[in-house]
Structure 1
Amino acid sequence: MSRSLPLALGLIASLAALALAGTVHAQTAVITDPARAALALPAAQVAIPPVRTDVDYAGVIRYQADVTDLDRRIVSVRQTIPVANAGPMTLLYPKYLPGNHADTGPIQLIAGLTVTGGGQRIEWVRDTVEPYAFHLDVPAGVTEIEVAFQWLTQPDNAVWRVTMTPAIVNMQWEKAILYPAGYASNRITVAPSIKLPSGWGYGTALTTQSYEGGVATFAPVDLYTLVDSPMFAGANYRRIDIDPTGDRVHLNIVADRPGNIAPTAEQLGFYENLVTQADRLFGSRHFDRYEFLLGLTDQLGGIGLEHHRSSENTQAPDYFTAWDKSAGSRALLPHEYTHSWNGKFMRPADELTANYNVPTQNTLLWVYEGQTQYWGDILSARSGLHSKDEALIGLAGVAAFYQNQPGREWRALQDTNNHNLLGYRVPGLWTSWMRGTGDYYRESALIWLDADTLIREGTADKKSLDDFAKAFFGVEDGVFTPRGYTFEDLVAALNAVYAHDWATFLRSRLDAVGPEAEAPLDGITRGGYRLTYTDTPTALEKRVQSGWATDFQYSLGFTLTGTTFRLGNVLWGSPAYEAGIGAGWDLIAVNDTAASAEVLRDAVTAAKGGETPITLILKNGTRFRTVALNYHGGLRYPRLERVEGTPDRLGDIFAARRR
């Protein structure tokens, strides 16, 4: 297999400097316990070795994982790591995880770490500044060390995502591995194997050498490729070829129950169309094969995570068997598939780090995730996973959210790219004011719609953002090695399609902040539609926007959740906000009637155009409040309305490509 990271990238002049600077600045492990200091430990002042991108780690690391302890949800790991010389050595646990865009490595779940060599225990000490680093001293005569530990996966999703259930295991190698410091991830070779419960099947982009006695042994790969090749394994498993051109793209399905794995021929046809439409959009493939890993489960933690030759995805257990219920989530696999081109093969230069302990930067997540969000939604429509009407309903929901978001008064979209680094997807009570993760996905997608329609308008609909996608992401068909891109590269590529002041176009939308800053909705207007609101959603709108019945964001300014009708997503500046209501209050009664979503909807409708306020009785702990909301605008649900006499560019954008 070809190397997965380049040794040198002209686009990333800073990479070598960053690598030579080390994983972190020279750091120390201070040993204060005299008893421990007397052991064969590293010197009291220990620097983490700087990363070299031009040297291979000598030898092959043998890696064995055991995921059969399902009841206790423990992954046991044993690594045999060759060592060339005696003396100080540092092992690293991955900190900056690909696709997480942050320092999210769950080192807190690693326990029982022991190191042996030459038949004797070798003591280690954790770095006091960088706790993801472990220092040890290899005795003379030792040519390999044995590293053993457990990954204590969790029984619920309260803090950490569930990765083991009685029927499914999601093996993510980066969360259960240590590797030698001082080397790039593509310079370390690993020979992996894993023991699975008896009779289980599995999907992964790794190449299987053997599967005997429940142990799957894979061909040696570099550490980068291993981390980029997770596994879904399960008692209920099926692998389906969805590549119309020849057995290179597969749907690997695991499920809580065997009856859930029941895709119809029509549903599989949509996924075959997805592969075809992606081929026509990008004009290339940067993989030898691609494995969709799909879990149909309400027990495994939810995920949608991109990889170069695979992706991790979960859907509801009845995703295929109750297809009409799934309209709102069908864009997940198209989104993750798009990442093979944007995010893996082509990715922001500041995310092409040498290994998993070099800090990442997220300055271009509005491209990495934002343009991927755009293409994922479009490919969903072009493949038939969404009808045109379903696609328009989804777009209306996004447009309304950002039209009513006050957070850009103080925080620019560009700054939300730092959200994960500030605290990985930390939930907040005032999301409309805080802004956050979703913005560099969904608001950025609106910017790319704006760009697409601008190109179409400026070229009399002869060119579009499709031309950019093929020229920018579709280069070097068959090449795996990632390429880094910069803001300047984007501007140049856009200008090659249609000459325009793209730097100003992008920066004015990314950096807009203040009371006058508006949501980027020009793409909808150029697309031939306008955003409106209705008080009576259609049956299809209710199905796509499945939370409509409890959604009062654009009227009273909140949503209801649970059997206690708890208020959440309180919109900053809304009638509820102005009445002093925050999240966490339970709705007890509406106009002296016991609360329900239906009762509240009826009350909002009855108050429309009148003068009588809507009275709410709220409870928070032992406190009760009675609040009168002087709102008379009726229910408001977003809808895109066709502007007659204008080109239906949105219709063309969503239409399947014939070649």
Structure 2
Amino acid sequence: MIRKLLVASLLASALPAAMPAFAQVPAGNTAPQPIPFVDTIPDAVDTPYPGTLLLDVDATDTERGIFRVKETIPVAKSGPMALLYPKWLPGAHSPRGEIEKLAGLVIRANGKIVPWTRDPVDVFAFHIDVPAGAKTLVAEFQFISATKGDQGRIVMTPTMVSLEPNLVSLYPAGYYTRQIPIKMTATYPAGWTAAGAVPAKVSGSTYSYDTTNYEILVDSPTLAGKYGKVWPLSPRVDLNVFADSPDQLAAKPEQIDAHKRLVDQAVKTFGAQHYDRYEFLLSITDQLGGIGLEHHRSSENGVRPGYFTDWDTTSAARNLLPHEYTHSWDGKFRRGADLWTPDFRTPMRDSLLWVYEGQTQFWGYVLQARSGLVSKQDTLDGYASILGIYDSAKGREWRPLIDTTNDPVISARKPKGWTSWQRSEDYYNEGLMVWMEVDAMLRQKSGGTKSIDDFARAFFGVRDGDYGELTYTFADVAKTLDGIVPYDWATFLNTRLTETGKPAPINGFAMNGYKLVYGPEQSPYLKQVEKTRGTDVSYSLGMVINKDGVVTSSIWDSPAFKAGLDVGTEIEAVNSEAYSSDRIKAAILAAKGTKEPIRLTVKNNDRFRDITLDYHDGPRYPRLQKVGNGDGGLDRLLMPR
């Protein structure tokens, strides 16, 4: 179709001649008009593709991080054709396909090279002219994995491979991806094993996966490695673990039992399973890039070494699997109608991520407690950490929650200097707070007979075994809630989504029996988080400092902000002594109740400064304090089913 740019120039020529002087082009200046462009990439249609694609991936070059790909694509006729590289990726909610890492593309038909041309507007598309008489095209190329973190996520190391089919394949334009049959074969290094949702026949180190459709294949990554182990969690769910070294696979029976209870509690909560089989793909590594990515029948989960071996001091890392598992119901099966797309070129609209991610964040914490994967107290302390951050964040003064659902497209998780003011993907944790308030309201308005569990079963617990996509709208969410407890849920939710200038919506916790308070003692949970995040004095001075003394987070309008401390500032000294975590904490304590400021020597680039922080309230850390006697709504929410 021809784009409408030409219309703009025609309209401009029709404007009245007598225009205000400020709107006219200065005499003598050139005044170009846009050149219309023609989009020759066909829109996707819901009709079967004529043939089965064959995808052959060589994943053995682990030293250099190079995937070598040969893809055979049947064609039904000669003439123009477009091949697409996946651009808009499910789970990323944004155009984050790594097209820059595709290299060496050569396309042949009948043994002869077929020239290709990249689309000048959609650079993820390659145009070719299929020769007369050709029955298949053979595309060969490489996917060049990142070898350092600043190049992107590392997906290949000497001991592990994360094979995401969207990274190593092209697909024909003009068809719904669910209508394109494909069969993948992958060869891994000798002696390795692999796991994934699509069944495979194994011959040595080569896995020949069953024929499926392209949508399902892209939704079915594999994880392979030199050191791996599998634990069945239920008749339909496996825990597949790969690690950099075999000692990291030393799981105790009680640790595996906690993962079994996670599956059991999720099924009891939602009342259906939207998979035939489900594969947890867990990498324990500091070499492969970290990840938490949901799929219908699997999830990619990356954690640091110590997941099993440092069990008692790493509970904060165990929220990942409950979160990603919940997505099988929330996000993969039930999906916002404006987010679902027929292919990986059509733009996604993210307006319902406060359900997709917000309620998943909610259930992730609930399920970690119900299963005992994380203790109730650590779960409460995790909530307190979230509430404490949002209690001091200023971004809600100008930017509503609903607008943060655009952040995957706006920011693509690039670092920000003032996240507490700019806001980020707040639909996760602020969404959690909204859903906690919904739970409390359901309990109160029903006299304790209804809760968000009823919503979970009504909304997610339908069509057992269906791993397609059942889409929904805002109205569907409000209608489901109204069917549980009659109320004007649409107005309530719309208010929470669009309001600005209001405090963070933390009241649902108080309604459910726990209020946010602050005290001088840091919880064991927060001490755990500090080991990886750095010295966290967010709730007092308003900043986080890494082990090298560099500020990694500075909260807008906090004492740190007012003193001119921004992200990247290096703290050299505290009260004339070399910086350390203990010294900054001691200085906070020493300044309590005095008039003496905390004095810092800091460095930005090559410039040193002496600054003062006028803060005298002492150490300050969040916690949840029980309100009333007996079990409150939150106590009941976290109980096993």
TM score, norm. by length of structure 2: 0.93
User: Partner amino acid for 2:413?
Assistant: R
Whether the 8 Å contact between 1:173 and 1:227 is mirrored in structure 2 is yes
- Percentage of matched positions with identical amino acids: 43
- 62-71 vs 536-545, which deviates more? 536-545
Aligned to 1:652: 636
Partner of 2:231: 240
Report the counterpart of residue 580 of structure 2 in structure 1: 596
Instruction: Confirm or deny that 1:273 pairs with 2:261.
Output: yes
The residue that corresponds to 2:396 in the other structure is 408
Take 1:268 and 1:224, find their aligned partners in 2: how far apart are those partners? 32
1:510 aligns with 2:497: yes
What SS is found at the alignment partner of 1:328?
Answer: helix
Cross-structure match for 1:227: 218
Cα pair 2:61 2:67 within 8 Å, conserved: yes
Instruction: Tell me if the contact between 1:394 and 1:545 (Cα under 8 Å) persists in the aligned partners.
Output: no
1:153 aligns with 2:137: no
Distance 1:132 1:117, change over 3 A: same
Aligned to 1:6: none
User: CA offset at residue 580 of structure 1?
Assistant: 2.4
Letter in 2 for 1:191: K
Change beyond 3 A, Cα 1:617–1:477: same
Shift of 1:555: 1.1
Question: 8 Å contact 2:534–2:547 — kept in the other structure?
Answer: no
Q: What is the DSSP-based 3-state SS (H/G/I as helix, E as strand, rest coil) of the residue aligned with 2:142? A: strand
Number of corresponding residues: 611
Structure 1 residue 217 displacement after superposition: 0.3
1:394–1:544 CA contact under 8 A, matched in 2: no
Q: How many angstroms does 1:538 deviate by?
A: 4.2
Q: Aligned to 1:628, which of 596, 601, 612?
A: 612
For residue 112 of structure 1, the aligned residue among 104, 114, 129 is 104
Pairing partner for 2:205 from 203, 214, 221: 214
SS in 1 for 2:293: strand
Matches within 5 A, 1:99-498: 99-208=91-200, 210-243=201-234, 247-437=235-425, 439-498=426-485
Query: Which residue number in structure 1 is paired with residue 44 of structure 2?
Result: 51
Residue pair 1:26, 1:47 contacting (<8 A) in 2 also: no
Distance 1:548 1:584 in 2: 15
Q: What SS does the corresponding residue of 1:145 show, helix, strand or coil?
A: strand
Structure 1: 5+ residue runs without aligned partners?
Answer: 1-20, 28-43
Task: Name the SS of the counterpart of 1:375 in structure 2.
Answer: helix
- Paired residue type of 1:616: L
Q: Distance in 1 between matches of 2:565 and 2:362?
A: 35
Q: What SS class does the counterpart of residue 564 from structure 2 fall into?
A: coil
Partner Cα separation in structure 2 for residue 549 and residue 341 of structure 1: 34
Cα deviation code 1:500-549 (max 9, x no counterpart): 111111111111112xx110111111111111111122445533665687
Match of 2:518 among 516, 533, 540: 533
What does residue 40 of structure 1 align with? none
Contact residue 285 and residue 477 of structure 1 kept, 8 A = yes
Is the contact between residue 385 and residue 526 of structure 2 (CA under 8 Å) also seen in structure 1? no
CA contact (8 A) 2:316 2:525 kept: no
Q: Of the candidates 596, 602, 605, which is equivalent to residue 618 of structure 1?
A: 602
Q: 1:239-270, CA deviations, whole angstroms, 9 ceiling, x for partnerless residues?
A: 11011xxx210000111001111111101111
Could you report, residue by residue, the CA deviation over 1:185-230 in whole angstroms, capped at 9, with x for unpaired residues?
A: 000000110011001111100011x211321101100000100100
Contact in 1 for aligned 2:530/2:536 (Cα 8 Å): no
Match of 1:560 among 536, 545, 562: 545
Q: Does 1:551 align with 2:536?
A: yes
- TM-superposed CA distance for 1:496, in Å, is 0.6
Residues 1:496 and 1:503: Cα distance change in structure 2 (over 3 Å)? same
Distance 1:581 1:145 in 2: 57
- Show CA shifts across 1:448-500 (max 9, x none): 00100110111121110000000110011122221101000000000011111
RMSD: 1.7
Give the Cα–Cα distance (whole angstroms) in 2 for the partners of residues 507 and 545 of structure 1.
36
Structure 2 counterpart of 1:49, which letter? P
Partner of 2:567, secondary structure, is: coil
Greater shift, 259-268 or 487-496, is seen at: 259-268
Assess, with a 3 A threshold, how the Cα gap between structure 1 residues 547 and 312 changes in structure 2: closer, same or farther: closer
Structure 2 residue matching 1:136: 3-state secondary structure: strand
Any unmatched runs of 5+ in structure 2?
7-36
Q: Deviations over 1:66-103 (max 9, x none)?
A: 00011111000101111110111110000001100000
Match of 2:508 in 1: 523
CA drift of 1:586 comes to 1.1
Measured against aligned partners, the alpha-carbon deviations of 1:96-146 in whole angstroms (never above 9, x if no partner) come to 011000000000000100010012110010110111111011111111110
Q: 1:46 to 1:118 in 2, by over 3 A?
A: farther
Letter in 1 for 2:405: N
Task: Give the letter aligned to residue 271 of structure 2.
Answer: G
Q: How far off is 1:606 after superposition?
A: 1.0
Return the alpha-carbon distance in structure 2 between the equivalents of residues 387 and 68 of structure 1: 41
CA contact (8 A) 2:240 2:281 kept: yes
Counterpart of 1:15 in structure 2 is none
8 A contact 1:365–1:440 mirrored in 2: yes
Q: How far 1:159 sits from its partner (Å)?
A: 2.9
Aligned to 2:570: 586
